[in-house]
Structure 1
Amino acid sequence: MSQTDISPIRVDRIAHIVLFVKDPEASAKWYSDVLNMKIVARAGDGPYKGGVFLSFGVSDHDIALFPGEPDASRGKEFEHIGLMMAGTNMDDLRRNYAFFQERGVEIAEILDHGVSIGIYFYDPDGHMLEVFCQRIGTDDGASQAELNRNEGQANPVSPERL
Structure 2
Amino acid sequence: MSQLFERIDTVFLQVKSLDEALPWYQEVLGFELRWRHGSHAALNVAETPLTLWEPEPGQPHTPHPYLAFNFYVKDIRALESILQERGVETEPIRDHGDVKTIDFFDPSGNRLSVCSW
The TM tier, using the shorter chain, reads 0.3 to 0.5
TM superposition score normalised by structure 2: 0.42
Structure (1 or 2) with the greater strand fraction: 1
Highest CA radius of gyration, 1 or 2? 1
